[in-house]
Every structure is written in structure tokens, then in C-alpha cells.
Amino acid sequence: MLSAVPRRIFHTFFRKPPAQRVTAKVPPYIRDQLDSNTDNEQPLPHDFRTVYPEFLPDPRPEWRNRLRERLERNDMLTRRSVVAIPEFYIGSIMAVTVGDRNASDKTNRFVGICISRGGTGLRAWFNLRNVIDHQGLEIMYEMYSPLIRNIEVLRLEKRLDEELLYLRDALPEYSTFPLDMEPELLPEGAPVPINDIKVKLKPRPWHERWERKNLQGVQDLGLPQRFYNKAKLHEKPWEKYDLMMEYRATIPEEEQADIFHEIAPHYQQLESSRRQSKRRLAQTSRY
Amino acid sequence: MERWGASMKEIERAISPPHEQKKSKPKEGLTGAKERWTEAMNVVPAILRAARCEGSRLHTSSSLRHIQKQTRLRVVDNSELGKSAMLEGRPPRCIHVYNKKGIGRTGDKVLVAIKGQKKQAILTGCHQDQFPLMPKFDSNNIVLVDENGSPLGTRIHVPIPTFLRKKLTEMSRPKGVDYTKILAIATRFV
């Protein structure tokens, strides 16, 4: 049996589970009785989850610690009262100013398109990409880093994909943005526009096998049919029906609601900083 | 393999795409080559793929893009040697990294083989994953220097990280090597 498969590989797939397996246990979430009795719960703004995704903790059970998460949320709100961290999405064009003791005027400003975003709590980060002097550059910023002086959103928009890492393999004009770009203003209350631009990729070799990623924002990849056949073998269409996977990858809805109710008293301040940054944009764009 | 109720031969037959199966005679008892194919691909997992990778020594994970020995680099200054090597399509190779890890990071000194010569160079931008606030470049950039630390070219036409101001100053020695001339020929810092 299985003569074609080398023994070592066979055992990696069919090995016995270890005798003592340590599984992380998270106590089930129980609502605080005092909180649930109060009737003055405000309705939640619907966009909390998309605007402030880093307030939700990492759902991995071995990393959960509800006390630490609460302390982190306090620290995040304190930091947000000092530096306004605006609403942004993958595909938005941003300018970040950081304190840099090696720079000539002790600050360093970088403009770029946000290609990925991640992390939770105080460790939340985002990546900016730009092409300067025909040289592609990416810088990763930690959102709650004390070195950050200012974060501006120059053009607030979304793209068709959840990550724009394919811009590394795209033609440079798709990730080139002038450093002196003017902030563009959206009317008050307007929905975030979705930029449905289709990017043209350079020929292979690429950083990843983009034909397997089901990308929406790229033009026809122009590969031979065998690449798409291979991609078909690797796709996992059953994952969208996997309820356990979804359960493990998300925070329960009741807990999310309580987290956002916890930061709801600060929501006025968050909103005002959001609006202020927009107003500042309006003033700067007038000159 | 019995756990899937199929022999190795049957599975191999099943995972070959349907158009290839037409050449061989269809066996009785096997219904719907296409359905069988898709079904088998859901079941026969990475084993066969891994087995093939083992045979052909393919990598299944993406590379870390470290700068180590034999890494091809890109000269970004305007020295004659560097420009001609890049234009000929024979980019320099790293043959030594002057640190204890053997993996070059931004600002490290490397020894490169360029057009049959050995030259020292400073890494001014790396493609591997960087720490926060450190720019990650799309190519591995170097600036050629001589043994005194002064660059061979007179201009660098791509941005270099501000961190080099600190790093190169620390690397320089009074009345010894002086790498800070690289900072003077740079056009832009990021």
C-alpha cells in the first residue's frame, strides 16, 4: 500500500496526535449583569466593525485574555484622543508623518496607497506602498505607535479586493502617487466610493500565484490554460459552508456588541475627530 | 489508501484530467470521469502533490528573500562599473556579508562579484520583510564603495532610508573608513 509515497511524507499526513495535547480554553462569554440591566443602551452605529476593526480582539483562543483586551482598548482610546486616526480602507491613499531623529527636520512624511492592514489592539498596523523615482517602496506603520505624529487620508476609497499585495507585481503606474498630492474631499455623509480599476500585472515570475487568489481588481492574467487548471484543483469552495471555521475566525456578535457599547461613550469624541479631520482637509484644500 | 476505497492506480487515473483519459480505454465500472476527477481531487489531498514535490525538489513555500551569498543585487549608483554591469544584464552577486549572521540587512556591508572583480558595497535597500517604519524596497539595492568607504559613483538616483544616516555614521571610524559620503551623493531620503 502506498508504495509511491515516500515513508516520511506518509507519516506527516497520517501521524498520531500527540499523547498530551494542550488546548487553550476560553471561558464562555457571559454578559456583565450590571451592564445588561441598564436601559440606556444607545443604538450602535452600523459601521463600527468596518471603521474601527482593530477594537475587536484576535479570535484565536490561545491569545484571548479579556482583561488585557479591555486595558488595550482604554489605551487605544487615550492614544486616539492625542492623535486622530482617521477612517481608512485598503485602497485608500494616505500620508503618514512620523518622528524620525535621522531625518533632516526630525519628521518623515510618506505618501502611499494602503495595500494591507492587520493586527488587533495596540498592535494594529497598515502597509503603505508608493513608487518614488521609479523605485517601489513599502513602509509598514503601527497605528498606535507613539512615533506617529499625523495620519491623513488623501483619497478615501475602497478597491475590489481585500488585499492589494498584487500591486507589487503590477505595472508601476498603478502604485505611483505624487508626494505633494492634494487631499480630496468627500461630501458629508456620502458612502465610501469603490474604485473598480482593473490593474495590469507584469508577466511572470510573480511574488505569489495570483491566478489562485480569485482577484477581482486585475486584468486578464494571460496565462496558459494549465495554470487555471491547477488553480481549480487548489480552490476550496466548501470553506464558505464551514460553520466551525467561521465560528473560530470571528468574535461572537453579542461580545462585539458589548465591546462597542464599552467604547460607545467615547464615540462622540471619535466621531468629532473624524469630522475635524475632514474639516481640516476642507481648509487645506481651499488654499 | 484503502481508506478512500480506491487503489493507487485508480486514483492516479482519476486525477489525470478528463481529456487525457479519453486516449485510454474507459474501464467498466468507472462512471463519469469528470465527476470522478473532481471528487478525487477533493479527496486525494496534498499527499500526491507533496510526493511529486519531493521527487522534483520543488519549494512549496515562498522565499524569505534574504540577502546571502549568491544573491543577485542591483547597483543604484552611477559608477561606470556598476552601470555597465547592470546594462549587460550581469548583475553583481553577493559573495560575502560582513556580519555574524550571514544575512544582510539595510546598511550592512557586502562583498560582491561584479564583472570578474571583487568590490565592497553597502546595502541601501532590501526586499525582505522589514521592521515597522523601515522601508521595504522592490529590489535589493547596493552602492559600490572602495576600501576607504567612499563611493565609486557620484550620484544615487533612488531614495535611500534615513536610517542609513545613523548606521553609516556608526560604521565609520575616525581616521579610518568613512561611509558617510554615500549620504552626500543621495538625492532623496525616505
Per-residue pLDDT, B92: 96
pLDDT at residue B171 greater than cutoff 80: yes
Per-chain mean pLDDT for chain A: 85
Nearest to B51 among A9, A100, A108 (CB): A9
Q: How far apart are CA B162 and CA B38, in angstroms?
A: 54
Secondary structure class of A281 (helix, strand, coil)? helix
Q: Is there a contact between B48 and A139 if contact means CB atoms under 8 Å apart?
A: no
Query: Where does the pLDDT of residue A12 fall: very low under 50, low under 70, confident under 90, or very high at 90 and above?
Result: low
Secondary structure class of A28 (helix, strand, coil)? coil
Set out the domains of chain A in order of their start, with CATH numbers: 45-278 (2.30.30.790)
Q: How far apart are CA A117 and CA A141, in angstroms?
A: 10
Nearest to A4 among B51, B62, B157 (CB): B51
Nearest to A136 among B45, B137, B187 (CB): B137
Q: What angle do CA A15, A21, A22 make, to 5 degrees?
A: 150
Least confident of A52-66, A190-204, A211-225, B45-59: B45-59
B107 CB within 8 Å of a chain A CB: no
Q: What average pLDDT does this structure show over B19-23?
A: 51
Q: What average pLDDT does this structure show over A13-27?
A: 62
pLDDT at residue B53 greater than cutoff 70: no
Specify the higher pLDDT residue, A106 or A257.
A106
Residues of A in contact with B133 (CB under 8 A): 98, 100, 139-141, 145, 147
**Model confidence over A70-126: pLDDT tens digits?**
999 999 999 998 998 999 999 999 999 999 999 989 999 999 999 999 999 999 999
Residues of B in contact with A110 (CB under 8 A): 190
Per-residue pLDDT, B1: 41
Q: How far apart are CA B70 and CA A118, in angstroms?
A: 34
Specify the higher pLDDT residue, A115 or A3.
A115
DSSP for residue B190 = -
Per-residue pLDDT, A256: 87
Secondary structure class of A218 (helix, strand, coil)? strand
Q: Is there a contact between B159 and A4 if contact means CB atoms under 8 Å apart?
A: no
Per-residue pLDDT, A101: 94
Distance set, CA A153 to CA A86, A88, A268, A269, B136 (Å): 7, 7, 20, 19, 21
Query: Where does the pLDDT of residue A2 fall: very low under 50, low under 70, confident under 90, or very high at 90 and above?
Result: very low
Nearest to A110 among B1, B51, B190 (CB): B190
Specify the higher pLDDT residue, A229 or A257.
A229
Distance from CA of A157 to the nearest CA of B (A): 24
Q: How far apart are CA B47 and CA A2, in angstroms?
A: 10
Given a contact cutoff of 8 angstroms between Cβ atoms, the answer to whether A2 and A10 are in contact is yes
Residues of B in contact with A142 (CB under 8 A): 132
Least confident of A187-201, B58-72, B145-159, B175-189: B58-72
Residues of A in contact with B137 (CB under 8 A): 135-137
B50 CB within 8 Å of a chain A CB: yes
Per-residue pLDDT, A121: 94
Q: How far apart are CA B187 and CA A132, in angstroms?
A: 11
| Cis-peptide into A205, omega within 30 deg | yes
Model ipTM value: 0.81
Q: Is there a contact between B8 and A108 if contact means CB atoms under 8 Å apart?
A: no
Q: Is there a contact between A168 and B138 if contact means CB atoms under 8 Å apart?
A: yes
pLDDT at residue B49 greater than cutoff 80: no
What are residue A118's phi and psi, to 5 degrees?
Answer: -170, -170
pLDDT at residue A283 greater than cutoff 90: no
| Nearest one of A203, A211, A256, A231 to A55, comparing CA atoms | A256
Interface test with B, best of A135, A137, A141 (most B CBs within 10 A): A135
**Model confidence over A145-196: pLDDT tens digits?**
999 999 999 999 999 999 999 999 999 999 999 999 999 888 877 889 999 9
Per-residue pLDDT, B79: 95
Q: How far apart are CA B122 and CA B145, in angstroms?
A: 7
H or E segment and range at residue A244: helix A243-249
Per-residue pLDDT, B41: 55
Question: pTM to 2 decimals?
Answer: 0.78
Query: Where does the pLDDT of residue B2 fall: very low under 50, low under 70, confident under 90, or very high at 90 and above?
Result: very low
Per-residue pLDDT, A161: 94
Query: Where does the pLDDT of residue A264 fall: very low under 50, low under 70, confident under 90, or very high at 90 and above?
Result: confident
Least confident of A262-271, B19-28, B83-92: B19-28
Q: What percent of chain B has pLDDT over 70?
A: 67
Per-residue pLDDT, B18: 52
